[in-house]
């Protein structure tokens, strides 16, 4: 096994047991680790230090074609395997992830700036979705339907969709890949992954490694890292896959969906959000602040379901702002590999500049920074702003950073109007000691998910996950992803002679 010090200049990093001998410098095609050769290289940079962690090959369009071709060939035999055999391999991969938890935490820190708390969450989520996904192998059952034709028997059978293309993001790369790959494989599909160029290891190559160790047949899972603006269109518009799963921005998701539909491929899109945390005047203030801090600053706010706007009743506004500012100022910022760090770096300069730009523009328009507001390299301070209106850049855009704009409202109706005044509809939260009132507000929010007396940063592998509007199409998890990853076929049997009119 490769010692990570051979390709990372960090004295405090131990050997990674899950690194292949080449230090991740390979594609994974048809069960083989294919060296980069004369392909261009993608440098993977540590957001905390801006040093190069490793390099991976930049797959070509020919590599993408090969990956889909071998996946198509392997899928037929894989689908014939007994469901319990497919489930056992998927489950074994989940167990292997757990055994590599320490190494994965290091990789999360080095690739996407994830602190230990985030690593714990992501590994737990990944194992949970793999467990539930494995169970789907035994649940892809058919149905018997009565016929309007005498002597006819109707069967509705469920079959694997075929080849599944997966394009994954950099923020929770292992989990957001696992939630597609595990159920897809368990149901008899084959998979080709194009991980985000920032996180090709945790977003794809790690899964290739653990599924290889778990005994997955060659060709059933393939990984082709590459820059989205160079091979993304070819990947998302490829004629081979039956399903194209994408998690990422709404802008890119629209493009992916258009390419997929153009190739008669079903898109499954989980996109951006502008999630509101609504605090009614009868809310438990401390509880609402606790939830607000967690929902805004976990993993530097780099989640599609993090809180983007805090909507607080005017009677609680000043206390809420002060309390949230205190929480923000108390959070330890530092290198994710340092013990005790809760806020790490944002992913890259482009993301930092976008966040800083939204802050500066909003302050120019009258917002006040109550905590944070500064940055050092890619470390952006947890920031709380008061005096924010819904049309300020920090509130009307998905800022995707450790930023908490707080907006006052007078009535439940106004809170609902502000919350719904966005093209997005992913998640949200409502705080009130009157659960019936909170439910009324939750029902009125135009989102795919709402959490009462909590915050939007929630995901469980057995409940539907997804949004409406610019937040995406389709639902992930359990039976809802089963619908996407399988197709139904109507088979009828005419058991008795049928009379025809001619």
Q: State both tokens at 337.
A: 């590999």
394 three-state secondary structure:
helix
Element (H, E) at 247: strand 243-247
Say if residues 224 and 128 touch (Cβ distance below 8 Å): no
- The CATH homologous superfamily for domain 27-141+163-271+471-484 is Aldehyde Dehydrogenase; Chain A, domain 1 (3.40.605.10)
Say if residues 159 and 196 touch (Cβ distance below 8 Å): no
The Cα–Cα gap between 340 and 337 comes to 9
Model pLDDT, residue 218: 98
Q: Which of 45, 304, 381, 398 is catalytic?
A: 304
Say if residues 178 and 207 touch (Cβ distance below 8 Å): yes
Token pair 């789907």 in the structure block, residue: 136
Residue 304 annotated among the catalytic residues of the structure: yes
Angle formed by the axes of helices 478-485 and 173-186, nearest 10°: 60
Model pLDDT, residue 17: 54
Model pLDDT, residue 3: 33
Model pLDDT, residue 25: 85
* Domain 275-452 CATH class label: alpha beta
- Find how far residue 354's CA is from the centre of its chain: 21
The Cα–Cα gap between 465 and 99 comes to 27
Say if residues 367 and 388 touch (Cβ distance below 8 Å): yes
Model pLDDT, residue 20: 43
Model pLDDT, residue 257: 97
Q: 488, exposed or middle or buried, with CB in 10 Å at 0-12, 13-18, 19+?
A: exposed
The Cα–Cα gap between 260 and 248 comes to 15
Cβ partners under 8 Å of residue 318, min gap 6: none
The pLDDT profile of the chain, 502 residues, written as one tens digit per residue, is 233 333 344 444 444 555 544 468 899 999 999 999 999 999 999 999 999 988 999 999 999 999 999 999 999 999 999 999 999 999 999 999 999 999 999 999 999 999 999 999 999 999 999 999 999 999 988 899 999 999 999 999 999 999 999 999 999 999 999 999 999 999 999 999 999 999 999 999 999 999 999 999 999 999 999 999 999 999 999 999 999 999 999 999 999 999 999 999 999 999 999 999 999 999 999 999 999 999 999 999 999 999 999 999 999 999 999 999 999 999 999 999 999 999 999 999 999 999 999 999 999 999 999 999 999 999 999 999 999 999 999 999 999 999 999 999 999 999 999 999 999 999 999 999 999 999 999 999 999 999 999 999 999 999 999 999 999 999 999 999 999 999 999 999 999 999 999 9
Q: State both tokens at 479.
A: 């039976």
Same fold flag, 27-141+163-271+471-484 and 275-452:
no
Element (H, E) at 376: strand 375-376
Q: Which of 111, 197, 270, 398 is catalytic?
A: 270
| Domain residue ranges of the chain, discontinuous segments joined by + | 27-141+163-271+471-484, 275-452
Residue 251 annotated among the catalytic residues of the structure: no
Mapping DSSP onto H, E and C, the string for 108-142 reads HHHHHCCCHHHHHHHHHHHHHHHHHHHHHHHCCCC
The Cα–Cα gap between 173 and 203 comes to 4
């Amino acid at each position: 096994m490769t010692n990570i010090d051979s390709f990372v200049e960090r004295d405090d990093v131990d050997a990674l047991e899950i690194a292949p001998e080449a230090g991740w410098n390979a594609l994974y095609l048809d069960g083989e680790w294919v060296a980069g050769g004369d392909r261009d290289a993608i440098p993977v940079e540590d957001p905390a230090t801006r040093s190069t962690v490793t390099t991976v090959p930049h797959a070509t369009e020919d590599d993408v074609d090969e990956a889909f071709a071998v996946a198509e060939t392997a899928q037929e035999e894989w689908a014939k395997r007994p469901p319990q055999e497919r489930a056992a391999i998927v489950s074994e991969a989940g167990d292997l992830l757990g055994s590599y938890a320490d190494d994965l935490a290091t990789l999360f820190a080095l690739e996407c700036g994830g602190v230990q708390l985030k690593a714990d969450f992501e590994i737990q989520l990944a194992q949970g979705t793999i467990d539930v996904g494995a169970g789907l192998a035994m649940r892809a059952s058919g149905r018997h339907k009565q016929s309007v034709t005498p002597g006819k028997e109707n069967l509705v059978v469920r079959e694997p969709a075929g080849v599944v293309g997966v394009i994954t993001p950099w923020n929770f790369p292992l989990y957001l890949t696992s939630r597609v790959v595990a159920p897809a494989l368990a149901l008899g599909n084959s998979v080709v992954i194009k991980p985000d160029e920032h996180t090709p290891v945790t977003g794809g190559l790690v899964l290739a490694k653990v599924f290889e160790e778990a005994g997955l047949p060659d060709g059933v899972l393939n990984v082709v890292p590459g820059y989205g603006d160079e091979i993304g269109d070819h990947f998302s518009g490829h004629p081979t896959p039956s399903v194209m799963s994408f998690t990422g921005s709404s802008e890119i998701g629209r493009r992916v969906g258009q390419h997929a539909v153009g190739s008669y491929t079903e898109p499954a899109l989980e996109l951006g959000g502008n999630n509101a945390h609504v605090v009614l005047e009868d809310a438990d203030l401390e509880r609402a602040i606790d939830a607000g801090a967690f929902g805004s600053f976990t993993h530097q706010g780099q989640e599609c379901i993090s809180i983007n706007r805090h909507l607080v009743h005017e009677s609680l506004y000043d206390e809420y702002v002060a309390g949230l500012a205190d929480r923000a100022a108390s959070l330890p910022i530092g290198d994710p590999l340092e013990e005790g760090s809760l806020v790490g770096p944002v992913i890259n300069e482009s993301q930092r500049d976008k966040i800083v730009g939204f802050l500066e523009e909003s302050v120019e328009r009258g917002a006040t920074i109550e905590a944070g507001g500064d940055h050092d390299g890619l470390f952006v301070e947890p920031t709380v702003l008061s005096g924010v209106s819904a049309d300020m850049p920090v509130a009307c855009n998905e800022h995707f950073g450790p930023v908490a704009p707080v907006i006052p409202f007078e009535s439940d109706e106004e809170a609902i109007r502000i919350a719904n005044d966005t093209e997005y509809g992913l998640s949200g939260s409502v705080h009130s000691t009157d659960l019936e009132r909170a439910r009324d507000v939750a029902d009125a929010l135009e989102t795919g998910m709402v959490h009462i007396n909590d915050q939007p940063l929630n995901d469980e592998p057995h409940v539907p996950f997804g949004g409406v509007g610019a937040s995406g199409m389709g639902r992930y998890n359990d039976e809802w992803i089963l619908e996407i990853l399988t197709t139904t076929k109507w088979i009828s049997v005419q058991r008795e002679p049928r009379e025809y009119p001619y």
